Amino acid sequence: GSGITLVKSGKLVTCTHLSYKPFQYTDGDKTVGFDVDLVDLVAKELKVDQEIFDTPFENITSGTVFTTNECDLAAAGMTINDERKAAIDFSEPYFDASQALLVKKDSGLKDLPDLKGKRLGVQQGTTGEAYANANSATHGYTVVQFEDLPLMETAVRTGAVDAAINDNGVLYDYVKEYPDTSVTKEFATGESYGIGMKKGNTALKTKVDEVLKKAKDNGDYDRIYEKWFGK
Ligand code: ARG
């Protein structure tokens, strides 16, 4: 066989951190999104069903979800970086991202220098949080942490924070739904998302990379991209 052992027989258990629309979010009683569709291709290849398990984001990046055998892989719009690579293995990159700034449209705020003395929202444990912290002394804003993306986004709309920073894909999706907000700036952080796996699970990594490559070659990737992001 392929040498792949799954944590639950007959299932491919995916850890994620909800909600991160349009990569993974709840629609009725289902978890849907770009990442969900992509991992479904892996499940299909293994002839099992995908089961999704919601967990705090740090449990994924720290590798805890793999050492406790909670899931086979993690798909969470998760940026590949060296710190995380020390704890988990990543698939080949499947999506490009950068950080971006979300504000209320009527705020007049456009960039980090406008935030002096103001409150900047971040999502806990993310690369956006790291970027905000790295630049806070220069610009003189206060960083305010939120557990998930929707809490952070809502805080911008209610005025609990003056602006917030997160990945461009999720923020552009949000402003489509809430036209009283806008994305005024992208920061060229040059990030790529990868699917996370237990360190040393090379059999699964080989399979996931094979499926990603095939999806890019046969048009499945483009079809899924268009479904969630348009043409
Ligand atoms: N790309 C960012 C990071 O890896 C944010 C990911 C947050 N994902 C989530 N499903 N909550 O740090």
Tell me, what's the pLDDT at 1?
A: 62
- Tell whether ligand 1 has an atom less than 6 A from the beta carbon of residue 79: yes
* Residue nearest ligand 1's atom 5 by CA: 126
Tell me, what's the pLDDT at 43?
A: 98
Which CATH architecture group holds 11-94+194-229?
3-Layer(aba) Sandwich (3.40)
| ipTM for the complex shown | 0.98
pLDDT tens for each residue of 15-29: 999 999 999 999 999
User: What is the whole-number distance in angstroms between the Cα of residue 2 and the centre of ligand 1?
Assistant: 30
Atom of ligand 1 nearest to the CA of 17: 10
pLDDT tens for each residue of 84-120: 999 999 999 999 999 999 999 999 999 999 999 999 9
pLDDT tens for each residue of 136-147: 999 999 999 999
Residue 165 and residue 102 in contact, taking contact as beta carbons nearer than 8 Å: yes
Which CATH architecture group holds 98-191?
3-Layer(aba) Sandwich (3.40)
Q: Tell me which DSSP letter residue 18 carries.
A: S
Domain boundaries of the chain, sorted by first residue: 11-94+194-229, 98-191
Tell me, what's the pLDDT at 2?
A: 75
Same fold flag, 11-94+194-229 and 98-191: yes
* CA–CA separation, 62 and 59 (whole Å): 5
Of 138, 132, 192, 126, give the one whose Cα is nearest residue 164: 132
What's the CA angle centered on 114, arms 157 and 102, to 5 degrees?
Answer: 30
Here the tokens at position 78 are: 């998760």
Determine if the peptide bond prior to 2 is cis (ω within 30°): no
Low-confidence ranges of the chain (pLDDT < 50): none
* CA–CA separation, 31 and 131 (whole Å): 29
What percent of the chain lies above the pLDDT cut of 70? 100
Backbone φ and ψ of 168, nearest 5°: -60, -45
Tell me, what's the pLDDT at 164?
A: 99
